[in-house]
Amino acid sequence: MNDALRTAFAAVHGGRPEGIWAAPGRVNLIGEHTDCNDGFALPVALAQTTRLAARRRTDGRLRLRLHSAQAGGPVVDLAVADLAPGAVTTWAAYPAGVVWALGEAGHRTGGADLHFDSIVPTGAGLSSSAALRTGCERACALLGLAALRDLSPDHVPRAERMLPARLRPLVRHVVTENARVAEAVAHLKAGRVAELGPILNSAHASLRDDYRISCAETDLAVDSAVAAGALGARITGGGFGGSVIALVAADRAERMGVAVTAAFRGAGYREPHLIPVTAAPGTRRIE
């Protein structure tokens, strides 16, 4: 893969890159829709990465020349001095925004030639409803809390009596999800990986029944995965469709995938896209 990246860099920018870096995709193992309430989440880095071949410019021009194998098209040429919020509207806004933020933080940056290539899946979920976040903020105001993170599970029954009915399940999900993250971390530290299964199942029930962001397809994926041998499964991401994460032993993964696919076919749904993933290192230089 690195050879192909170097070849692509040469075709776009000429010559060789100075180095190659990799940044992994990630998925929340547990801890969904807690972030807007200062809550807890446990993300896992995946083996699927976005790779960057880069070379500093030595011609004295403070310019970024960016190219993406996925976006295609010509090189995007940007002056570092002209970078500002809203100045770039294409995919290049993401890396250009990093350079702008570094400058805002007082770090002087020079020019560079950059080429990106990625195998991180895109478009795997839909954004969550802003109404859910607004509901949680309203609940905090009524309870006199800065964030729902400050509410312990033991105090949920009392808090529910102070809230209108429509807000109670939202609060219940966030508080219990924070507790599930803490429980999952304790199991992982003790090497009890299999104990994560029931936690994932509980999280899905909470996201389905209390936070109400699941749908028939994701419920079927979870149910059929568990029935086929997964230790646990839950919807992950924004919700209202998207992705499901399942914890399954390696020797049962293929059977589980076949079962989920058959279940979708039987229900008349579009065939699911199955992506085997394992925990992997974080962002790093690889060459």
Q: List, for residues 192-219, the tens digit of each pLDDT value.
A: 999 999 999 999 999 999 999 999 999 9
- Asked whether residue 124 carries a pLDDT value surpassing 60, the answer given is no
CATH number of the domain that 72 lies in?
3.30.230.10
Look at residues 90, 114, 113, 86 and name the one whose alpha carbon lies nearest to residue 100. 86
Identity of the residue numbered 255? R
Tell me: do 98 and 217 sit in the same domain. no
Phi and psi at residue 229, in whole multiples of 5°?
120, -5
Residue type, 120: V
Number of separate domains in the chain: 2
- The answer to whether residue 287 is domain-embedded is no
Domain membership of residue 194 as a residue range: 130-267
What pTM did the predictor assign? 0.87
In a domain, 39, yes or no: no
Distance CA 205, CA 32 (A): 12
* pLDDT exceeds cutoff 50 at 113: yes
What does residue 61 show for φ and ψ, rounded to 5 degrees? -90, 125
Are residues 164 and 261 located together in one domain of the fold?
yes
